[in-house]
Structure 1
Amino acid sequence: MSQPRQPGVPYPRLPLPDSQEDLHAFQRWLGEAIPMVGALGIQRMTLDSGTLIWQLALSPSLNDKGTGFGGALTAQTTLQGWCWVTLWLRERGLAQDVVVAEASQRFLAPVTGDYRITCASSDLSGPKQLETKLKARGKGSITLNQQLYCGDILCLEASARYVVLPRP
């Protein structure tokens, strides 16, 4: 990153991909566009059949008890949903702004080691419904679910509704 981000100044968009998204380039851009990303411990992003999967290190998100800090885990799930929608739009050649409208989390077990978070539409028809709304109105929303696993243990479930804003 060449210069620190300034409040009120949007970061330049990453050019739309010519073909398949380079997730490594997207992750680098993400770290520049959103400075806190570098502190979240994201080790790898993959996309598999409509599911975005992140592998994360626990060490940057430790709390005073030596387990995952709920605020960091919440930030990760919220950001991952934003990335899912942004990547979905980019795959369709669309560069529109995405915001989170509402989110909830349910903590089920402590996170005690490195972990993975999965993110997918809460409804199989969700992506198609979003595509229909975007074509008809230029804006739309989708609800996504995230699940955080430490090994085979489900530690956190999250759900959030993301809104794709109309083009300016």
Structure 2
Amino acid sequence: MHEGLLLETERFLHDRIPLSKAMGVRLESYDASGLTLTAPLEANHNHLGTAFGGSLAAVATLAGYALLWLELDDRDSHIVIRASRISYKHPVASELRATCLHPGPEAITRFKARFAKAGKASIPLTVVLGPEDRPQVEFEGTYVAIR
């Protein structure tokens, strides 16, 4: 993935969603498997020294948003989240690292076709925080793109 596109997307998030800048969100990678973003624990901890639940939810939401923004590649569209579900499985005591799993080329193709035809489309996305073999947080969100 081109580093310039990651930086452009990061700037977009910081400009349009100021909370992402305050949280220290950084885009780490984006490829066929998904998109990963990070945020430092220092700016996102609770009174126990672990990640604040609201920060975990925000980072997960932003990871899905950023993946869809890049996949849609329509800078005049608006992306919102319609519904979400989150499970906090284990405390996060280090850098917050959220990976939005790519839904697959077929799902993206169907999503883009609906968007092109109707000017609006929705897609479910899954985000995981922590190691694959022991996720700390699991998030499912339904995102909507509107022209």
**TM-score bracket, shorter-length normalisation:** 0.7 to 0.9
Does the Cα contact within 8 Å between 2:72 and 2:112 map onto a contact in 1? no
Q: Which residue identity lines up with residue 51 of structure 1 in the other structure?
A: G
After superposition, residues 66-85 of structure 1 pair within 5 angstroms as: 66-85=49-68
Q: CA distance change for structure 1 residues 79 and 44 in 2, over 3 Å: closer, same or farther?
A: closer
C-alpha change, 1:128 and 1:100, in structure 2 (3 Å) is same
* Amino acid paired to 1:79: L
Bigger Rg, which one: 1
Look up the match of 1:127. Answer: 108
User: In structure 1, how many angstroms separate the alpha carbons of the residues matched to 2:132 and 2:40?
Assistant: 12
Residues of 2 paired with 1:75 and 1:84: CA distance? 14
1:148 is matched with: 129
Correspondences of 1:112-123 after superposition (within 5 Å): 112-122=93-103
- Inter-partner Cα distance in structure 2 for 1:49 and 1:79: 18
TM-score (norm 1): 0.77
What secondary structure does 2:20 align onto?
helix
How far does the alpha carbon of each residue in 1:12-42 deviate from its partner, in whole angstroms, 9 at most, with x for none?
A: xxxxxxx996211221232122211112232
Which one-letter code corresponds to 1:136 in the other structure? K
Q: Percent identity?
A: 27
In structure 2, the residue matched to 1:16 is none
Contact 2:120/2:144 (<8 A) preserved: yes
Shift of 1:96: 0.8
Q: 2:29 aligns with which of 35, 43, 46?
A: 46
Change (3 A) 1:28 1:123: closer
Please state if 1:160 is matched with 2:114.
no
- Gaps of at least 5 residues in structure 1 are 1-18
How many residues are aligned here?
A: 146
Q: Root-mean-square deviation (CA), in Å?
A: 2.3
- Map of 2:91 onto structure 1: 110
5+ residue gaps, structure 2, are: none
User: Residue 154 of structure 1: SS of its match in structure 2?
Assistant: coil
Offset at residue 94 of structure 1 (A):
5.3
* Structure-2 residue corresponding to 1:138: 119
